[in-house]
Amino acid sequence: MPGDVTWCDSSSRSPDYQSQKQCKKTSFAFYQAVRDRLPAWALEDMRTMEALHWEEGGKVSAYSPSEALLYALVHDHQPYAHYLLSHFPQEALAMPSKNFSCCQSSAPPHLTMAVRYDRVAILRGILSALRGFPAGSRDAYINRRGCNHVEGGKSAVHLACELQRAQCLMLLLGQWASPYVTDGSGDTPLDSLLQLLGGSSQHQARRALLLLCLDSLLLYMPGGVPAKARRRLLEDKGRWQGVLGPGLYRWLSGAAPATLFTRSMQSLLGSLPPERFPEALGELPLPDFLTPPALRWNS
């Protein structure tokens, strides 16, 4: 559960002992209401008129749309999440209080939480809400590093790769997310994928998902492979040929160009308007046998 939160009614705003005792007694009321998936109107009545939580120093505050959205993400309450995003897009995607996010200088946690919990439908709603943001702030929001303590300073794309969230990854890449963004250690998502793929033991199903994420990532990297990842591949040619296969290894290590099919798909995907993704993806006139595996989830 995000945050150390409490609840009390609007008549108990004084941070004295009795107020704290009453708030602790009913501390999970709003959280439980979202968990039980009460209708959005009932949750909004509760959030705006009844549900309060303690801030640092004994201050009592109402739940913000941002904090309510975090609860909706945890419990996959899609109707409530879409209500918050449609009625309060700026507020719902703003940074929550310190009770909910310890790194106030990092990105708001909604994108990374949607990826971590694999909330694909809510992630689509978040990205749809971001379409109304100015281009600069929207791009910065999507590509900003997450909390250093919880996410290790990783972006949502990094996390999608590491957790093998192929659908989340495609949604992010199709809508303004950069495959070249670096985390707190200077690693790109490709670096993270290679590190996982190069591990000594990989379950077959997990390895297949990692390769699917790699395929997705490479389709959005027409600018080529970053130098750090290429050096990693060149340091142990034999091992990486076995991990990636000779053809893919030659491309990623710089010994051969990408295939004509890959370059064509990169160009095609790059021409799709991000504001119409993934709808535009489903309109591509590609037969199944020509559709890359990384794109088939949308069909």
Does residue 243 lie within any of the structural domains? yes
Overall domain count for the chain? 1
Does residue 59 lie within any of the structural domains? no
- What mean pLDDT, rounded, does the chain reach? 86
Does residue 6 lie within any of the structural domains? no
CATH of the domain at 167: 1.25.40.20
How high is the pLDDT of residue 247?
94
* Closest residue by Cα to residue 198 from 228, 241, 169, 253: 241
Does residue 295 lie within any of the structural domains? no
Tens-digit pLDDT profile for residues 169-214: 999 999 999 999 999 889 999 999 999 998 766 688 888 999 999 9
Q: Are strands 52-54 and 60-62 parallel, antiparallel or unpaired?
A: antiparallel
Instruction: Give the C-alpha separation, 217 to 166, whole Å.
Output: 10
Residue pair 281/272 in contact (Cβ under 8 Å)? The answer is yes
What separation, in Å, do the N-terminal and C-terminal C-alpha atoms of the chain show?
Answer: 34
How high is the pLDDT of residue 228?
92
Find where tokens 């590491």 sit: 162
Does residue 106 lie within any of the structural domains? yes
Q: How far, in Å, are 52, 113, 256, 266, 282 from residue 251 at the CA level?
A: 56, 33, 5, 14, 28
How high is the pLDDT of residue 141?
94
How high is the pLDDT of residue 10?
43
> Roughly what angle, to the nearest 10 degrees, separates helices 260-270 and 204-219?
70
Residue pair 97/64 in contact (Cβ under 8 Å)? The answer is yes
Q: Which residues pair with 175 in a beta bridge?
A: none
> Roughly what angle, to the nearest 10 degrees, separates helices 120-130 and 135-143?
150
Range of the domain at 145: 67-290
Does residue 157 lie within any of the structural domains? yes
Whole-model pTM: value is 0.88
Does residue 111 lie within any of the structural domains? yes
Does residue 191 lie within any of the structural domains? yes
* Closest residue by Cα to residue 292 from 256, 272, 265: 265
Give the residues of the chain that fall short of pLDDT 70: 1-27, 51-59, 102, 104-105, 200-202, 297-299
